[in-house]
Amino acid sequence: MLSFVFLVIGFALMIWGADKFVAGASALARKLGVSPLLIGLTIVAFGTSMPELAVSVTAALRGANEIAVGNVVGSNIFNLLMVAGLSAAVCPLVMDKTLLRRDWPLSILAAVLLLGAIAPDLTIARWEGVVLLIIFAFILTHQIRTALQNREQLAAAAAEAEAEEAEAPMSAAMIWVNILLGLACIVIGGQLAVNGATGIARMFGLSETLIGLTIVAMGTSLPELVTSIVAARKGQNDIAMGNVIGSNLFNIFLILGVSSVITPIPVQATSIVDCLFLIAISVVFYLPARKGKLGRVPGIAMVAMYAVYTVYLIMR
């Protein structure tokens, strides 16, 4: 009974927190005069990637990060197929030109670089982690510099949008209250939901391996899922897709970079297959998105493909 209570409270907290988080992030973009895409790629992506970062760094410090790459690649596959797919199925996503021209191809490049690092010796060495972190720093700097160059134009558009709103603009203090409180509720709610779902699965006699491959693996991506769906329903497409692509960049460049610098990461051979799958789906679904819109049909196809991938994981 307690597991069911945890599950319900967890999802309620995540949905309420995501609503506040997206509202705060959107208001912050207007206040700073920058694109909501930048906020999605940075603050929102980093916030929703906190569970993966905490798990991977803790494992690295304990010298037990053998499954770090599998978790990150699995999380990226979940982000692209389930988070973006469900968001598009709920509300077709209009694609930002910068995201299509720069950030989505960068996420494909990240997966290719990861494959190149792990394929020869099934290890991410410290020097490879340093390279990942340097690339991440360069990407983040470029994203911020580009956003600041367009700041005046975006600030004028934001001021016009605020003038059309019925309610008063959000104060700076309330923006950060919404962001921090929303993020806290998302993270705590995600943990409660995972604990509740795990308890229910055990009650029905599911094995620990199956629980680990499905519920726990998906659990660290619940913040991305709920946040992007809420953003899509609010019409904040840049935040929804920026969160997906930004989280995938954070996961590979920052999380694996930091973890492998702490201690080299041994990799399971199956991660090569997962990496190839991540590259394939990133390219395949980039093609319909390039037209400027990710519609319901590709979204449903993405969700269906994740279901097939989950069956493959269970059989594996």
pLDDT in tens, 290-302: 888 888 999 999 9
CA neighbor of 230 nearest in space, from 83, 47, 41: 83
Beta strand extents in the chain (DSSP E only)? 93-94, 123-124, 265-266, 293-294
CA neighbor of 221 nearest in space, from 85, 60, 37, 102: 85
**In the prediction, which pLDDT does 128 show?**
95
Mean pLDDT of 82-110: 90
Least trusted range by pLDDT, from 27-41, 146-160, 273-287: 146-160
Contact 220, 52 (CB under 8 A): yes
Residue 166 predicted with pLDDT over 50? no
Least trusted range by pLDDT, from 17-21, 94-98, 129-133, 306-310: 17-21
Least trusted range by pLDDT, from 194-203, 209-218, 254-263: 209-218
Phi, psi at 75, each rounded to 5°: -65, -40
Q: What is the CA radius of gyration of the chain?
A: 19
Q: What is the pLDDT of residues 199-246, one digit of tens each?
A: 877 787 766 556 655 666 666 677 778 888 888 888 887 888 888 898
Contact 258, 129 (CB under 8 A): yes
DSSP assignment letter at 293: E
- Higher-confidence position of 197 and 165: 197
| Tokens standing for residue 96 | 């930002």
Residue 161 predicted with pLDDT over 60? no
User: For the chain, what percent of residues have pLDDT higher than 90?
Assistant: 24
**In the prediction, which pLDDT does 30 show?**
75
Q: What is each CA distance from 9 to 136, 189, 305, in whole angstroms? A: 36, 7, 29
**Dihedral sign computed on CA atoms, order 77, 79, 80, 82:** positive
pTM of the model: 0.80
**In the prediction, which pLDDT does 199 show?**
81
**In the prediction, which pLDDT does 155 show?**
54
- Between helix 68-78 and helix 50-61 the angle, nearest 10°, is 170
User: Chain-wide mean pLDDT for the chain?
Assistant: 82
- Find which of 167-176, 191-200, 234-243, 295-304 is predicted with most confidence, using mean pLDDT: 295-304
- Find which of 25-39, 211-225, 249-263 is predicted with most confidence, using mean pLDDT: 249-263
